Structure 1
Amino acid sequence: MEAEMAEVGTAYVLKNILTTRQTGPPILPKGEYGTGFNPDMPDTLPSWLTEDDLAYFVSKFEKTGFIGGLNYYRNLNINWELMAPWNAVKIKVPVKFITGELDLVYTSLNMKEYIHGGRFKEDVPNLEEAIVQKGVAHFNNQEAAEEISNHIYEFIKKF
C-alpha cells in the first residue's frame, strides 16, 4: 500500500482522503480507482480546506509517511485482543457525541442502528445527546468548525 501511495504522491492521497463524500467504510479497490477510495475527488478544494492547510498536512506526512495509520488497520485483530479487558466497560462520564451524516464510520454497517437504536446509550449511560450534522463528512471539526466549537462550548459550560 505504501508503494501505491508513493506512486501517486502524498498530496493526492491526502486530498483524496480529506475530500471524500463517499459513505461506508473506506475501501481501496486496487486498479479500479487507483489508490484512493474517493472516485469523485474534486479538482478544487472545499471551502473549509485551504491550499496552505493541505500543504501543511502534506509536509508532515512526507516526513512520517502513512505507515502508522496503515499499521493500525493491519493490526486490528491484535488490537481487539489487547482491548479485551475493557470489553463491556461502560463510559460513565457525561458525553455529547457529534458526527456527520456523511461520515464513513457513521455510515458503516450497523453503526446508525447502534447509535440511534439504544445500544450506544447502554454502553455510554451518560450520553446526553447524539448530534448528526447534515452534509458533513468525517472531518467535521474542519468542515463545520464553528458549529463544532459551539456544541463543545455549550456542553462544557455547564460543568
Structure 2
Amino acid sequence: MHGFPESWYSWRHQLTALADAGYHAVAPDQRGYGGTGGPEAVDQYSILHLAGDALGLIPALDAGTAVVVGHDWGSPVAWHCALLRPDLVRGVVGLSVPPYQRSDRPTLTALRDHLGDAHYMVYFQQHGIPEAELGRDLPTTFRLLLAGRSALGPSGLPLLPEGGGFLDLFKERPQLPAWITEEDIAFFAAEFRAGGFTRPLHWYRNLDRNWELTAPWHRARIEPPALLIAGEKDMVVSTPAAREGIDGLRSFVPALDEVLWLPDCGHWTQQERPDEVNRALVRFLQRLAD
C-alpha cells in the first residue's frame, strides 16, 4: 500500500523481487489515486474505508490471508488492517511510519495545540490551496518531494514558513540521486495530471474523523507478527519523541519481529534502498512460514 503522493509505481522494485522469491505480490493504486480513482466526498476517505479497500482485496484475489505492507500513508492502512482483521492479516510491515496508539485527544486538536497552524497536516485541511500549489508544476513538485533536500529549519519539524506552502519544506538538488530517474519523476507526474491531488489530500482531511471512528479500538493491540523498516534520515521518525515511541512499540505490538533502521536513508524507503527492503521482506515472509 503506497503513500502520499505516490502510486503502485513506488513498489516497482519489490513486485519483481517478491515474485522471483515465489510470492504473489500485489500493489494497487489506493482510493483516490491513479487508475483506481474514487468518490469526491471527503468522508469517503476515512481509515475504515482505506483499510476496508485493502482487506477487500484479499478475498477478491482468492487468498485466505495476506501479509499487508505499507509505506507512508500506506503504513497506517496496513497497521489498521492488522488491528481490525487479524484473522485475515497473517503479518504486517510498515515502512517509515510506525503504528501509533489512539491518543486521548483528536489528532488535529493536538497538532494545533502543540505546533500551531504551521504544521503541513493543518495546511492540508484547506480546500483548493494545497491542490493548487502541488498541481502548479507537476515535474517540479515530484522532483522536490521525492528527490529534494529537507528545508525543515532548526526545529526539525515540518512547519511551513509564514505565508509559505508545503513545497517550501524542500530544496531542489542540482541533480537527482542515483535511486530515482527523470523517467520515474515523469511517471509520477503523469499519474497526477489526470486525477489531481484533491482526493489524495482527503486522506488528511479525515484525521479527526479517524480518531472518532477508531474509538472502539482505543488502546487495542496489534496482534499479528510485525516488521518496521525506517530510514535513519527520515523526518517522520527523526525526532526524539518518535524514536522513544518506536522503542516502546512492543507494548502494543507484542509480536514485533524487528525494527530495521536503514543508515543514510530518507523517507522514500523502498525506492531509496530497494535491495535492503527486498531482503528484509523476504526474510520476514520466510520466518512467518517457519
**Band of TM-score, shorter chain:** 0.7 to 0.9
Distance in 2 between the 1:141 and 1:106 partners? 16
Q: 1:100 aligns with which of 209, 225, 231?
A: 231
Counterpart in 2 of 1:127?
256
Question: What pairs with 1:1-159 in structure 2 (closer than 5 Å)?
Answer: 1-7=130-136, 9-22=137-150, 24-29=156-161, 31-32=163-164, 35-108=166-239, 110-116=241-247, 118=248, 120-158=249-287, 159=289
The SS at the match of 1:47 is coil
Cα gap change, 1:11/1:73 in structure 2, threshold over 3 Å: closer, same or farther? same
The residue identity in structure 1 corresponding to 2:158 is P
Tell me the TM-score normalised to structure 2 length: 0.49
Contact 1:97 1:131 in 2 (8 A): yes
CA offsets per residue over residues 75-116 of structure 1, 9 Å max, x none?
311121122222222111111211111222212561110001
Cα gap change, 1:30/1:14 in structure 2, threshold over 3 Å: closer, same or farther? farther
Contact 2:135 2:197 in 1 (8 A): no
Deviation at 1:36, TM superposition (A): 0.7
Structure 1 portions without partners, runs of 5+: none
Contact 2:149 2:173 in 1 (8 A): no
Deviation at 1:156, TM superposition (A): 1.0
Contact 1:16 1:41 in 2 (8 A): yes
Distance in 2 between the 1:106 and 1:4 partners? 26
- Tell me whether 102-111 or 52-61 shows the greater mean CA deviation: 102-111
Aligned residues: 155
Deviation at 1:17, TM superposition (A): 1.1
Cα gap change, 1:30/1:65 in structure 2, threshold over 3 Å: closer, same or farther? farther
RMSD: 2.0
Deviation at 1:68, TM superposition (A): 2.2
Contact 2:236 2:267 in 1 (8 A): yes
Cα gap change, 1:36/1:60 in structure 2, threshold over 3 Å: closer, same or farther? same
The residue identity in structure 1 corresponding to 2:181 is T
Cα gap change, 1:103/1:145 in structure 2, threshold over 3 Å: closer, same or farther? same
Deviation at 1:137, TM superposition (A): 1.0
Contact 1:21 1:137 in 2 (8 A): no
The SS at the match of 1:96 is strand
The residue identity in structure 2 corresponding to 1:29 is P
The residue identity in structure 2 corresponding to 1:26 is P
Distance in 1 between the 2:177 and 2:187 partners? 16
